[in-house]
Amino acid sequence: MALDRNKLYSILTIACVAGYSWLYISMTNNLTESKSVEVCLIKHVTNIPCPSCGSTRSIMSMTKGDFVGALNVNPIGYIVALIMLMAPIWIVVDLIMKNNTLFNTYQKMETLLKRPTYAIPLVLLVIINWIWNIAKGL
């Protein structure tokens, strides 16, 4: 099933709203590593953290200026933060300018990431991050 422009923009908008909402809830309730709410289904069911476990804490560390701490919690947090910052702005600009630049970039990235030359190293990085999350008891 191919993803069209409107569906991509809707999914990204919903994901960003959910992400910002969860970040707000986490920050206003002063959730920390010792008293956090587990929303990860994988960790809840298996007691093993997923590769993205700790992303919220990583972003929270970034908002406090602790960039090294954010990297230590979970480097994937940087990718999530970048998407959460860029996507809403890009979507609004595309809608106002009646362009498809985000959608075109998404299609190019999707094509590129299907190539084993790029896909295999990225999958290996995710697996290494997952092992690291498990080893540090995230």
Contact 94, 9 (CB under 8 A): yes
Query: Can you tell me the distance from the alpha carbon of 118 to that of 130, in angstroms, rounded to the nearest whole number?
Result: 19
- Residue-wise pLDDT tens digits, 75-121: 999 999 999 999 999 999 999 999 999 999 999 999 999 999 999 99
Q: How far is CA 17 from CA 5, 10, 21, 75, in A?
A: 18, 11, 6, 21
What is the rounded average pLDDT for all residues in the chain? Answer: 87
Specify the amino acid at residue 108: K
The whole-number pLDDT of residue 10 equals 94
Cα 84–31–20 angle (5° rounding)?
20
The whole-number pLDDT of residue 34 equals 47
3-state secondary structure of 95: helix
The whole-number pLDDT of residue 76 equals 92
Q: Report domain extents, the chain.
A: 5-136
pTM of the model: 0.80
Query: What are the φ/ψ torsions at residue 137 (nearest 5 degrees)?
Result: 70, 40
Task: Out of 1-5, 35-39, 77-81, give the one with best mean pLDDT.
Answer: 77-81
Does residue 37 carry a pLDDT above 70?
no
Which among 23, 108, 107, 16 has a CA at the least distance from the CA of 63?
A: 23
Q: How far is CA 93 from CA 8, 56, 88, in A?
A: 15, 27, 9
- The owner of tokens 């970048």 is 82
Q: In which band, very low, low, confident or very high, does the pLDDT at 38 lie, cut at 50, 70 and 90? A: low
